Structure 1
Amino acid sequence: MPPRGVPAKALLADEPVDATVLDSDLVYQGRVWDVRSDTVAYGDGRIVRQYVDHPGAAAVVAVDDEGRVLLIQQYRHPIRHRDWEIPAGLLDMAGETPLETARRELAEEVDLVASSWEPLVSIFTTPGGNDEIVHLFLARGLTSANEVHAREDEEADIRVEWLPLGDAVAGILAGRLRNGILAVGVLAAAERLRADEHPGV
């Protein structure tokens, strides 16, 4: 049953499809992720689709007691930018839950721990090209981690900034902050915190 006052047709949701995979070939095996080519029975015929086979990821919207969100900037070669992001990492540790990955990435990337964790949203980042799903969490009650982590490659020169949450929202809407995971996470966190401050509105 939909919530009172919400029409049933307004509650749209993505629908899983159990399409029969007739053939699946490993086109390229990479260091982080692979590329596959699947032949799929769909409708009255078959289709061939190539996609990145991705392990998934977890990401953290860390908000401090002053209402500032933690952003990190690092080089991303495919887009030739040092873009602003939120701490995130692959679900590439056997047996680790998305929340455990989020905790690990917050500590490893910015040397922080949080006493409060809430799930925000889970998103498909590029459903036409990969099967990545990212689980986003809101982290609060932030303190310094006991251990400072060594960083290399793109993480060696990470820049960290604390930005008022409203300024981050404005930067997203103005097109200055274009990272998709950052955008979804910051907007979801802003709505969550607004709802917490003004329940029922």
Structure 2
Amino acid sequence: MTKLETLNQRLLSLFGDTVRVSAALGELTLEVPPAQYMQVCLTLRDNPDLGFESCVDLCGVDYSAYGNDVNEGPRFGVVLHLLSYKNNWRLRVRTFADDPDLPVVASLVDVWPGVNWYEREAFDFFGILFEGHPDLRRILTDYGFIGHPFRKDFPVTGNVEMRYDPEQRRVIYQPVTIEPRLIIPRVIREDGYGAGR
């Protein structure tokens, strides 16, 4: 039995029908309902048969248009990658926020303290709220930034731009002033290009 099969059996025996396990690219994905998210993560960390001591990554995902299709399921998800040093295996865990207008999932700062900044980044870029997070505020965008730039409905040009105004001697915000333009590429044709070379 391979390590992946062993881990799969342990996950199914512990969590049963409350979770969904799938395999792809040599790694398992454990999909957890948001109501059980915190408890499942505690079990993943504390159960000696699993022993996921470390959360190496956590990110938000906007599934509104995923791949080549429009997604009919939940819009916002949270994906984390766990690592067990003792058992030398990895696991991807995914949960979805119930409400696309106000996406909320439980914070895992009390389970793995290192996810603090990851959750702040997911809040900043996707607007996902982490219930119970001790300091949920923007981490990479400006304090006055409007919106969440990694959402698929966020305008590519943004909403506002900032610049330094020498007359006011400060940074000011103003609506984006990008003028749309049509660019026509210049084509150079060479006689005999590609023939006999």
TM-score (norm: length of structure 1): 0.25
Query: Which has a greater percent of strand?
Result: 1
TM-score normalised by L of structure 2: 0.26
The structure with higher relative contact order (CA 8 Å, sep 6+) is: 1
Please identify the structure whose Cα radius of gyration is greater: 2
